[in-house]
Structure 1
Amino acid sequence: MQHRKMVLVAHAGCMATPMNSLESMEKALEWNADKIEIDVRFLPDGTPVLTHNPAGPGCSCLFFEEALRFLAPRREIGMVIDLKEWSNLPELERLQRRYNMLERNLYAGNLIGDMETMRKGCAGVPYYPNGDPRMLSKAGRAELDEFARKADEGGAAGIGLFYPAVTAQLAESLHAQGLKLSAWTVDSPDEIRRVIACGADMITTNRPDLAGRIMEEARHG
């Protein structure tokens, strides 16, 4: 029987909603996601906004503060903040503190080679840098163990990985160092079941309705 606690993350734009929108957050809440993934960049003046692509002048993107204001009263959900840029991390920290959401959120994105920059700016928010799927899918157990050790030494809370590269061996190496494995972005039933069987701790999906049901089935055997 599966007793491991898994975290369900609704992808930005889940359930065919507009990317990085309040509608997406509403769907995440509707389907009982533990967290909602958002993409964050910064305007030229340093204001954080929700967008996957660079935010130019006249950007009509949702402000990060608007997302915090919407989610703060809904204490059952947090954010996975996918950092597309990290030029003004102090402002992210300030806003999360203002809305008492630091403890509910985590940072993701960027390759693990950027750990030093992130460690200095994370303000205690757990950080899941992305692993290189090409490297990790070919690595042997000794290489995976070394990768996990370096990730732990760098201050990572876990590793994010494109789902086809998720393996049980990687999960075991990370878990041995006390780290978590986050699989993204998984939408097919077979792949959701596969990454669960491999030992993924967190699953990001466009289908929180489907993934939530499969994860619940896995919990109860």
Structure 2
Amino acid sequence: MPARHISSQSFDEILSDLGDDPAIPDPHGIRRTPSQKSTPPRPPSQSKGNHFSESLSPIQIKDFAHAYAGPITIFGVLVAAAGAFFMAYQALNNHSQGTLEESQKQITELKKEIALMREEIHQDQDDLYAEIDELEVSVHLLKEKKPEMRTSSKPLAPPHELELRRWRYLGSSQMGATQQAYFHNGKNHLVFEKGSQVLGDWRLSTIEKEQATITHPQGKFLVLKAIKSQ
């Protein structure tokens, strides 16, 4: 067999794994039994947790949970209510801000419209005062010229008088109780019964062989004589 080289440290570890030989006496109790081997120390946190869980019975744990369940629930409800109130306040604040801006915009527009209407009213007042001044001047001038117009003016002729003066009387005819007169107005021949309306307010009042009389309600009358044939 080939030779093996084992270090002293490896040899001690092998002996330690195999344990002490019971055949060798140990009068002084130097050997350590397997039960005397040192166990690794537990972490402080684990030992404390086990000590706390071991110190509380299941009934005590249940009572502890019941005792703190109410305050925890109330605290959660208060937190949720505070969050909801904050969100509602933010929404209301945003809505109020938008409404306020819209109201301010409308107020600005109304102010502009009122200012424009005020300017138009002032302009209308100025125009009205100017027209009143012109009317006062016109009335004053009419009062001054009125006597002169009365002395120099002539009575106006009734309407259609000049036109009727150009008519020609052609003669008359009698058919029973109806008497008619014939005229020529320069364009057409016309026939009218006695008492009928001739032109405007003029009426045929009398019909004779040589002439016809046309009267006006204002008291004016025209006599149209028949043209004698040669």
- Scaled by the length of structure 2, the TM-score of the pair is 0.16
Higher share in strand: 1
Higher share in helix: 2
Which gives a bigger RCO, structure 1 or 2 (Cα 8 Å, sep 6+)?
1
The structure with the largest alpha-carbon Rg is 2
